[in-house]
A and B are shown apart, each in its own frame.
Chain A
Amino acid sequence: MSEYAYDEKTVTGFIVSAIGWGVVGILVGLWISVQLWAPSWNIPPYFTYGRLRPVHTNALAFGLGLGAIFGLFYYIVMRLARRPLVLPKLARFHLYLFNVAIALAALSLFAGMNQSLEYAELEWPLDVVVVGMWVVFAINIFATIIKRREEQMYVSLWYILATVIAVAVLYIVNNLAVPAGLTKSYSLFAGANSANVQWWYGHNAVGFVFTTPILAMFYYFLPKSTGLPIYSHRLSIVAFWALVFAYLWTGAHHLVYTPLPDWIQTVAIAFSLFLIAPSWGSVVNGYYTVGGSWDKMRTHYLTKFFILGITFYGLQTVQGPTQAVRVVSSLIHFTDWVPGHVHMGTMGWVTMVVCASVYYAIPKIYGTTIYSEKIANTHFWLVLVGQLVFSVTMWITGIQQGAMWKAVSPEGTLSYSFMEGLAKNYPYWQMRSAAGVVFTAGMLFFIYNVAMTMRQGTLAPAKA
């Protein structure tokens, strides 16, 4: 093997940045969870629920999520290509650009600059910056993969390439707008058509930010950390192609019973149900990889992060398609059930796998071992309990809300006013805030553990 250095500083820069933005996003999340049951926690103009909620989603999806994806993708690509990045200085520039973009994003959202497109709230000047950042990233990823020193591209690289391509298409199309000044624009698309474009984007942002990149990490770090080979190469091929094909057809399941043409809704519902198959392809692959060595759940601390993570992915990808079905949608759509669903994915699947990947990568980069497995286990149980309480309370109150909205008295009048339904949420919203505190405590253990690991090691260029 040849002698060369990986550019680890950029990787750790991204991981540390991601953690920093994660703290911001989680604290804002706690704050808005309290605002729902204590309106006096709204502080106009910058800190009302309406402005803070996009800060929460953007800081976590793009600050924590994308930051971790960028860092760990560079880490994975260098190793699977068996070479350093082709353009290490560009990657360093990418790191600075990323932090500037997220900071400006947060400030602009506090200021109320908002396109009103979920997960694409940023106004057009920042969209330009984001696209530039993505191009910079794509150049390095493609160049490094093309100039790789390993003939075969491993599964993780397929997911990485698909992520880069899909996000570029999604982000550019959905953000097309006509500017009216520097801080305001009007979408190129109107009415029902804009709804269709937005949810084609919105659902696939979930697909290509919260699914494919996390699968790339899962397929790389699970075998690496356990020493167990992936169970079936064939299954990972089938699951990959079926997933990236089917995802793009499903966006309109967010628009069931809206004025969007029915056929688009029906096609989306059908493909959503189909999507269970490729999703579970990866779930089964993960289970069988560890299958036969289940004692690792006890003896190897990272295995349980990955296995619980893929389990929540499996639950998420059954619950999601179920919600797409019209009769279920009519009950739970617009209720708190949906945030319960989303947070199982983000807190149960994404964060679990990202944290486990960081636990594996950081000691490797710093030439040391994890600071404390005990702290990692505490972290694991706290985020698990926090996430479960969060999701389950939201599911309960969501069903209650939906049922109260639908209830009709024998006389044929509505049984409950809207306010009666809202008031019933309060105890559940309070419980959700408490669950959020537990989850946050778990993440603090994680951050402490990572920081101490970095302190005890030295950032030496790794040898291949």
Chain B
Amino acid sequence: MSGAIYRKPIFFSIVATVVILAGTLATMFIPMFTEGMHPRLAALKPYTAIQLAGKDVYQQEGCNNCHTQTVRPLRTEVMRYGEYSKAGEFIYDRPFLWGSKRTGPDLARIGGKYPDAWHLKHFADPRAFFAQSNMPAYGWLAARKLDPAAMRSRMRVNDFPCTEPELAALAGKSELDALVAYMQAIGAAVKGTATASAALPPPETKNPLAAAATAVADGRALYDAHCASCHPNGGKDGIGPGLEDEAADDPDLYTIIAKGYEGEMPGFAGQLDRKQIWSIVSYVRSLKPAAAPQGGKAEEKGVRK
């Protein structure tokens, strides 16, 4: 404990600096120059002007305070959100936007999960889709217009390719349009929405609940919770089509509900089990005004009561 160093502040400070820099060099500075830190997926594209504008809005509004953008390689995480995040997806993010808190769901695989119309409606009123959501409404972003000149310099700083017509097209677009465009661009380099649906076994060839008395009532409750915000009951002006005349046969309808359509409708296999999906199929069949082609009388009664 010879105390010489504690009598020499400059010497002390030099030693302290060296001690502090050891871990800094080993875990932060040196890795910066290794390839593992800068991988790039072949399918990854730079952001377009409107996507970058949307990413700027995402940062401006502090979305990363509540939403992560990194799917961990854990079984349930991949089931819920989709393919786990790869280092090569983020080279155009300066800085990264992985977040540290999931008050809302992860967004790493949000791109292509819903149509634009869904996002617009959801931003305007998150509780229209999820009654218990605590997300602030962001419809007011529609009144804030983008500035093409500012975006020109931002694209240049990022070194993203960009043409004058592309910038000119931003005039008149709103921050909300940009945010939606960014939503659709997130995770685009990696295929795969929730793989709970990808790994799904093929459905039965016939609805196993066709004769079950409560299937339609159960299905209706589930439909109201999960489907009605896009396919309103009996209505035709929803984000998705009305389902009174749904043409797909039962197994196809099951598969659509489970897996969704890329870019148009999310799959529900991660949230609904087999019996629940078949109940919804039963309910949708019961909507047909004429005699139900499948399912039979029991369900007709079920929906009327």
Interface 9-residue window, one of B87-95, B241-249, B280-288: B87-95
A101-131 to B contact mask, C-beta < 8 Å, 1/0: 0000000000011111110000000000000
Contacts of B102 in A (CB 8 A): 334-335
Among residues 176 to 222 in chain A, which have CB atoms less than 8 Å away from a CB atom of chain B?
A: 177-181, 184-198, 200
Residues of A within 8 A of B31 (CB): 193, 196, 261, 264
Instruction: Assess whether B62 is in contact with A51, with CB atoms less than 8 Å apart.
Output: yes
Of the candidate stretches B135-143, B177-185, B202-210, B291-299, the one touching chain A is: B135-143
Min CB distance, A307 to chain B, in Å? Answer: 26
Q: CA–CA, A180 to B151, complex, Å?
A: 9
Could you tell me if B134 and A112 are in contact, using CB atoms closer than 8 angstroms?
Answer: no
Q: Mark B124-135, 1 if CB is under 8 A from A, else 0.
A: 001100101111
* Shortest distance from the beta carbon of A199 to any chain B beta carbon, whole Å: 9
Contact for A248 among B6, B22, B73, B95, CB less than 8 A: B22
Chain B minimum-CB-distance residue to A141: B9
Q: Is A241 within 8 A of B19, CB to CB?
A: yes
B97 at the interface (CB under 8 A from A): yes
User: How many cross-chain pairs have Cβ atoms below 8 Å apart between A and B?
Assistant: 268
* Chain B proximity of A330: nearest CB distance (Å): 6
The docked-state distance in angstroms from the alpha carbon of A246 to that of B96 is 25
User: In chain A, residues 21-47, which have Cβ atoms closer than 8 Å to a Cβ of chain B?
Assistant: 35-39, 42, 44-45
> A387 → chain B, closest Cβ, in Å?
20
B74's partner among A187, A190, A257, A417 (CB-CB below 8 A) is A257
The chain B residue with its CB closest to the CB of A45 is: B140
B156 surroundings in chain A (CB, below 8 A): 180
Q: Which residues of A contact B19 (CB under 8 A)?
A: 241, 244-245
Q: Is the Cβ of A181 less than 8 Å from the Cβ of B150?
A: yes
Whether A162 pairs with B94 at a CB distance below 8 angstroms is no
A191 to chain B: closest residue by CB: B90
Q: How many residues of A contact B (CB 8 A)?
A: 101
Which one of B63-71, B110-118, B165-173, B212-220 is at the A interface? Answer: B63-71
B16 interface neighbour in A162, A177, A260, Cβ under 8 Å: A162
B53 to chain A, nearest CB (A): 11
Q: Are A339 and B101 in contact (CB under 8 A)?
A: yes
A17 and B100 CA atoms in complex are apart in Å by 30
| A161 and B12 in contact, given A36-B134, A406-B76 (Cβ under 8 angstroms) | yes
Instruction: Tell whether B72 is near chain A: CB-to-CB under 8 Å.
Output: yes
* Cβ of A237 under 8 Å from chain B: yes
Distance between A8 CB and nearest chain B CB, rounded to angstroms: 23
A189 partner, pick from B10, B20, B26, B94, beta carbons under 8 A? B94
Chain B positions within 8 Å of A406 at CB level: 74, 76
A146 touches B23 (CB 8 A): no
A248-B23, A259-B87, A414-B196 known; A419 and B132 CB under 8 Å? yes
**Which residues of the partner chain A approach B93 to less than 8 Å between Cβ atoms?**
190-191, 194
In Å, the complex CA distance between A161 and B8 comes to 12
User: Using a CB-CB cutoff of 8 Å, which residues 314-348 of chain A contact chain B?
Assistant: 330, 333-335, 338-339
A184 x B56 contact (CB < 8 A): yes
Contact partner of A259 (CB less than 8 A), chosen from B85, B103, B270, is: B85
Q: B140: which A residues are within 8 A, CB to CB?
A: 44-45
Given contacts A261-B31, A330-B74, is CB(A118)–CB(B153) below 8 Å?
A: no
Question: Which one of A61-69, A150-158, A361-369, A450-458 is at the B interface?
Answer: A150-158
Distance in Å: Cβ of A166 to nearest Cβ of chain B:
5
Closest A residue, CB atoms, query B64: A116
Q: Judging by beta carbons under 8 Å apart, are A186 and B70 in contact?
A: no
A195 and B98 in contact (CB under 8 A), knowing A53-B62, A190-B91? yes
Q: Which residues of B contact A180 (CB under 8 A)?
A: 150, 153-154, 156-157
Name the contact of B133 in the complex, choosing from A38, A194, A419 (C-beta under 8 A).
A419
Q: How many residues of B contact A (CB 8 A)?
A: 89
Residue of A178, A181, A335, A414 touching B79 (CB-CB under 8 A): A414
Binary flags per residue of B1-42, CB closer than 8 Å to A gives 1, else 0? 101001101101100110111111011100110101111000
Verify A198–B95 contact, CB threshold 8 A: yes
A195 to B132, CA, bound (A): 32
Shortest Cβ distance from B133 into A: residue: A419
Asked whether, in the complex, the Cβ of A50 is within 8 Å of the Cβ of B154, the reply is no
Q: Which residues of A contact B273 (CB under 8 A)?
A: 409, 411, 413
CB closest residue in chain B, given A120? B95
The answer on a CB contact under 8 Å between B80 and A414 is: yes
Determine if B13 and A161 form an interchain contact, defined as CB atoms under 8 angstroms apart: yes
**Closest CB in chain A relative to B79 CB, distance in Å:** 6
Q: In the assembly, what is the distance between CA of A419 and CA of B240, in Å?
A: 22
Collect the chain B residues with CB atoms within 8 Å of residue A417's CB.
Answer: 271
* Contacts known (A187-B95, A249-B27, A334-B102); A162 close to B133, Cβ less than 8 A: no
Min CB distance B195 to A, Å, is 12
Within the assembled complex, what's the spacing in Å between the Cα atoms of A254 and B98?
11
CA–CA, A247 and B22, complex, Å:
10
Given contacts A180-B153, A251-B27, A423-B132, contact A418 B105 (CB under 8 A): yes
User: In the docked arrangement, what's the CA distance between A397 and B63, Å?
Assistant: 22
Contact of A248 with B24 in the complex, beta carbons under 8 Å: yes
Please measure, in the bound complex, the distance between the C-alpha atom of A188 and the C-alpha atom of B68, giving whole angstroms: 21
**How far is it, in angstroms, between the C-alpha of A323 and the C-alpha of B73 when the chains are bound?**
18
- Inter-chain CA distance A161–B271, complex, in Å, is 54
B7 and A151: CB pair below 8 A? yes
Looking at the assembled complex, report how far the CB atom of B259 sits from the nearest CB atom of chain A, in whole angstroms.
13
Decide yes or no whether B60 CB sits under 8 A from chain A.
Answer: yes
Can you give 30 A-B contacts (C-beta < 8 A)? A38-B134, A39-B137, A42-B137, A45-B140, A50-B66, A54-B62, A114-B62, A116-B62, A152-B6, A158-B12, A158-B16, A162-B20, A165-B13, A190-B90, A190-B96, A191-B89, A192-B37, A192-B39, A200-B24, A259-B70, A264-B31, A330-B72, A334-B102, A338-B101, A408-B76, A408-B79, A413-B274, A418-B104, A418-B105, A419-B132
Could you tell me which B residues sit within 8 Å of A by CB distance?
1, 3, 6-7, 9-10, 12-13, 16-17, 19-24, 26-28, 31-32, 34, 36-39, 56, 59-66, 68, 70, 72-77, 79-80, 85-87, 89-105, 126-127, 130, 132-138, 140, 150, 153-154, 156-158, 196, 269-274
Task: Give me 14 other A-B pairs in contact (C-beta within 8 A), A186-B157, A234-B1, A422-B134 excluded.
Answer: A37-B134, A39-B135, A116-B95, A152-B7, A169-B21, A188-B94, A190-B90, A246-B23, A248-B20, A258-B98, A264-B31, A405-B80, A408-B79, A422-B103
Residues of A within 8 A of B (CB): 35-39, 42, 44-45, 48-51, 53-54, 112-118, 142, 145-146, 148, 151-153, 157-158, 161-162, 165-166, 169, 173, 177-181, 184-198, 200, 233-234, 237, 241, 244-252, 254-255, 257-261, 264, 267-268, 271, 330, 333-335, 338-339, 405-409, 411, 413-414, 417-419, 422-423, 426
